[in-house]
Amino acid sequence: MNTHARHLGPGRRTLLRGAALGAAVPLLPATASAEGRAPARGRSSAPVSYRWLGTSGWRIDLRQKKQRNRTVLVDPYVTRFDTGLFSGSFDPGTRLRTDEALVREHAGTPEVICVTHTHWDHLNDVPHLARSTGARVIGTETTYHVLRSFGVDAGRISVVKGGEVLDFDGYVIEVASSRHSRGGSYSYFAPGTLHAPPAAAPRTVADLPEGDTLAFKVTPDGAPSALFMGASDFDERSFRGLEPDIAMVAVASSASTHRYVPRLLDALGRPGVVVPVHWDDFERPLSLPPRKDGTGLDDFLAQARAVSPDARYVVPDYRTVYGADLRPLRQRPERARGA
């Protein structure tokens, strides 16, 4: 496991748990933690903000002294086109497309993009972002080959498998092997991996295989760590020892995975803040409020609270900008673009 993260974990986790219980404990500055330890790696504090992009997508903005603002994205699916999935008439032949102006508005100019897996509701907008911004993309071998088929520079793609701890001079990204959600039939959409670029760039949602699934733990210097999941299953042995302060946890779409919620929270060391994701109808535009897609948000919260009653639970929305401890900072203004 990441010894750096292990050293820092207890202080921040104690702090976040205190906030969950209603104690008047502010997020500590970089000069000390709840147990008096120095901040991450001895560097100055990095103010952090989070914006939920829907599904399992997040925008992480870091402002560091004497440096430009820096942005990290996880699974940035912003275009949100209709496949019929939520109306009961799913069409796997739905063409892929990207609304470049909308992506630019929500995603900004990232320096790193983390991709948990290669299904369209996670990868669709990544090829455009990678080509237009030069961002480094971190993902599986399948993600690599798909991006190459879209003309993304091979030198800007980092292939990982799980277990990597990557230092970006201001924040650390730790990669964990994970698993994809399974439906009631114990299977999932478009399984498979790629070991070479496809003959042609994918054109439809069915052309994008899962390609193995990852999770990412992001630890900005001087701030709590956050785990990002892209699907509602996990590798229990790979998750043990991650111990994030904040966990963005995918809500299960079925009961196929045995004791998913209690096993997950126990494996993660019962994070102080739990944020359910991938519960929204991800074919509605981000200009509308999130709508539950029927995959069990309420049931997830009930199970999680039974297992970890001391945690603070944050059900995110698209317009709120959250701080380093996942408390709201402000509301983003309404956009002129309509529903």
Q: Model pTM?
A: 0.84
Across-strand partners of 122?
none
CA distance 87 to 34: 48
Asked if residue 119 lies in contact with residue 210, where contact means CB atoms within 8 angstroms, the answer is yes
Q: Are 53 and 106 in contact (CB under 8 A)?
A: yes
Integer Cα distance of 138 and 122 in angstroms: 13
Check: CB of residue 61 under 8 Å from CB of residue 172.
no
Percent helix, percent strand, percent coil in the chain, to nearest 5 = 25, 20, 55
d(CA 182, CA 213): 12
Tell me, rounded to whole angstroms, the distance of Cα 293 from its chain centroid. Answer: 18
The whole-angstrom separation of Cα 4 and Cα 26 is 23
- Give the C-alpha separation, 79 to 43, whole Å: 37
Q: What is the dihedral of CA 261, 262, 268, 270, to 10 degrees?
A: 110
Residue 328 backbone phi and psi in degrees, to 5? -60, 135
Q: Where are the domains of the chain?
A: 3-23+34-326
What's the token pair of residue 248?
């963005």
**Cα 216 to Cα 96, 175, 191, 225, 287, distances in angstroms:** 25, 5, 21, 10, 27
CATH topology of domain 3-23+34-326: Metallo-beta-lactamase; Chain A (3.60.15)
pLDDT at 63: 85
> Burial letters for 123-134: b for 16+ Cβ neighbours within 10 Å, e otherwise?
bbbbbbbbeebe
pLDDT at 309: 97
To the nearest 10°, the Cα dihedral for 3, 5, 11, 15?
-160
**Exposed / middle / buried, residue 206 (Cβ in 10 Å: 0-12, 13-18, 19+):** middle
DSSP code string of 38-62: --GGGPPP--EEEEE-STT-EEEEE
Q: What is the pLDDT along the chain (339 residues), one digit of tens a residue?
A: 333 333 344 345 544 544 443 332 333 232 232 323 333 333 444 589 999 999 999 999 998 766 678 999 999 999 999 999 999 999 999 999 999 999 999 999 999 999 999 999 999 999 999 999 999 999 999 999 999 999 999 999 999 999 999 999 999 999 999 998 777 766 777 778 888 899 999 999 999 998 999 999 999 999 999 999 999 899 999 999 999 999 999 999 778 889 999 999 999 999 999 999 999 999 999 999 999 877 689 999 999 999 999 999 999 999 999 999 999 998 877 654 433
Instruction: Output DSSP code: residue 76.
Output: -
